[in-house]
Amino acid sequence: MVKISSIFALGVLVTIMQFLGFSADIKNYFYLLAGLSVTVISILIRGELHEVLRHLHGVEIKTDTFSQSSPQQKEENK
């Protein structure tokens, strides 16, 4: 929920940035920082969403690991 609120807050700041009277250089830097922040936060949200969907649908993550079974050995009584 914090991530979604952060994206909302960044959107509000981008909206009112035009009216705050900063120079063009500062605005450009802020827009770059806000865009990168939204990108990173959305990637994190997407990862969490995929985890939840995998859990809901019961999909197991498949790997390339192979384990060969060996015959069971009988224990010898001494």
The answer to whether the CB of 6 falls within 8 A of the CB of 37 is yes
Paired tokens of 21? 């009277």
pLDDT digits (tens, 9 = 90+) for 2-15: 888 999 999 999 99
Write down the pTM of the prediction. 0.62
Torsional sign, CA 60, 64, 67, 68: positive
Q: What's the gap between Cα 70 and its chain centre?
A: 40
Domain boundaries, the chain: 2-57
In tens, the pLDDT along 13-36 reads 999 998 999 999 999 999 999 999
pLDDT score of 37: 93
Residues 44-69 pLDDT 10s: 998 888 888 887 877 666 666 666 67
